[in-house]
Amino acid sequence: MFQLLLDVGPYCLCFYAVMILGVLVFLVSRLWKMLRQLNQESRADIPPGSLGLPLIGETIQFMAAINSGKGFYDFVRVRSLRYGNCFKTSIFGETHVFVSSTESAKAILNNDMGRFTKRYIKSIAELVGNQSLLCASPHHHKLLRGRLVNLFSTTSISLLVQQFDELIVNALGVWEDEGTVIVLNEALKITFKAMCKMLLSLESGPELELLQKDVGRVCEAMLALPLRFPWTRFYKGFQARERIMSMLEKIISRRRRGLDASAEDFLQHLLAKDDNSCSGGLHRLTDAEIQDNILTMIIAGQDTTASAITWMVKYLGENEEALEAIKAEQLHLAEKTSKKLFLTLDDLNEMHYASKVVKESLRMASIVPWFPRLVLQDCEIEGYKIKKGWNVNIDARAIHLDPMVHNEPNNFNPSRFDDESKPYSFLAFGMGARTCLGMNMAKAMMLVFLHRLLTTYKWKVMDSDSSTENWAIFSRLRSGCPVHVTRI
């Protein structure tokens, strides 16, 4: 063969080489075309969107949005404008799909076929603990929820209304001395005290202050990369979690030794040996389950309710018509309740317009902007194929602000709730088996706050900026809503 090539001379050699190269180029280009066609066919039914770089995906862009001053939701907002109602991305090494139609929300939250389960990103799961209701497997979640839901009975909410009213009356009493107050800071103090009293009967003292600081650190670490180096935000949050766990351990041990056993709080109910609900076949919680879920409830209840109160004060302060309507209702109610020391649950049931103000504030603010779920079986959403192991997130904020779902969605209009709203169009507290456990409690806290504020002060919002805080897991107003108050 070699001899033959030498024999045919250099010109023929070149000719053969060009021929072979030509055939090769032809074959490779055909193969490339076939592969592209195949790829396009399989891509046609998976959601649009970019998976970013190998391994890290779009994590850098996600972290940049958290740090940008526009808030972490901006990452989702920009992509949903680009790709529409359903898109995919990759964060923290996992594929995430975001969906924002009421039909998809219904299918996922109803979860009739058991195709989805709740799952948070790794950092959140590690900080709240693996026994938390937020991270439990479907079976474990059922046991935990069955036990915890008893704590939120009408009787305990009635008690909370009085406790919360007392806290607010005391807190608002000193506002006029300050002239200008940052509503978010005040609301955080009030809701934290309310949660700690309700859960642990902690009312004041160094233990409460330490706990408040540590809960703040845990919340700040929730969106951080789960890196355990001493200088990282996540590490500091994790250390704070450990301190909270050991504080709760000590409190539980005191109760078990019969100290503070007369306390009427959630912890005492969970520890009670003769608890009726457990004799009725319900799961008795272990100490680890109690600890993780007490922390979960503080986090789930404090920041959310305080943020909601802050947005509500801002929206009302900026909407004269709604403010006048609610004032008339509350002043009328105040005439009836003036002889009573504290408000009752029955009084709250008469606050019809205020209830709509609460709902409208929650719709516009979307405190929990999206709800994450893990896909347990291959399925189809919005006509796209969704694979087992992916995460789907229901973009509640996009639904709340969709003009096809809510007329003039950017206008604060509590009366929109006079008419029956479309199914799955109001998702402030979620829906289905994972609906917010503290929903009625949060609404009660917001109504009591409104009543006391409206019947005590006039206020003027001093900063109209609506941007949200960096690193906050819930939508929190960055300015904190500074208001100037004058006693009526």
Residues of this chain that bind ligand HEM (CB under 6 A): 118, 133-134, 145, 296-297, 300-301, 304-305, 308, 362, 367-368, 371, 428-430, 434, 436-438, 441-442
The DSSP output letter for 203 is -
What is the Cα–Cα distance from 320 to 34, expressed in whole angstroms?
64
In the complex, the smallest distance separating the C-beta of residue 428 from ligand HEM, rounded to whole angstroms, is 5
- 439-456 helix and 287-317 helix, angle to the nearest 10 degrees: 40
In the complex, the smallest distance separating the C-beta of residue 308 from ligand HEM, rounded to whole angstroms, is 4
Cβ neighbour number for residue 385 with a 10 Å cutoff: 14
Cβ neighbour number for residue 257 with a 10 Å cutoff: 9
351 touches 329 (CB < 8 A): yes
Tokens of 469: 């805080």
Tokens of 442: 């949060």
Backbone angles phi, psi at 37, to 5 degrees: -65, -45
Which is closer to ligand HEM, CB of 371 or CB of 424? 371
Which is closer to ligand HEM, CB of 17 or CB of 472? 472
Which is closer to ligand HEM, CB of 305 or CB of 413? 305
In the complex, the smallest distance separating the C-beta of residue 41 from ligand HEM, rounded to whole angstroms, is 34
Which is closer to ligand HEM, CB of 142 or CB of 228? 142
Q: According to the annotation, is 12 in a ligand binding site? A: no
DSSP per-residue string spanning 363-423: HHH-SS-EEEEEE-S-EEETTEEE-TT-EEEEEHHHHHT-TTTSSSTTS--GGGGGSPPPT
In the complex, the smallest distance separating the C-beta of residue 355 from ligand HEM, rounded to whole angstroms, is 13
404 touches 109 (CB < 8 A): no
Dihedral, CA atoms, 122, 438, 265, 125, nearest 10 degrees? 0
Which is closer to ligand HEM, CB of 46 or CB of 271? 271
- 320-337 helix and 352-365 helix, angle to the nearest 10 degrees: 140
Cβ neighbour number for residue 316 with a 10 Å cutoff: 24
Which is closer to ligand HEM, CB of 26 or CB of 144? 144
Which is closer to ligand HEM, CB of 133 or CB of 483? 133
Q: How far is CA 243 from the centre of its chain?
A: 24
In the complex, the smallest distance separating the C-beta of residue 79 from ligand HEM, rounded to whole angstroms, is 20
In the complex, the smallest distance separating the C-beta of residue 30 from ligand HEM, rounded to whole angstroms, is 49
Name the residue whose CB lies closest to ligand HEM: 438
Residue positions forming the annotated binding site for heme:
436
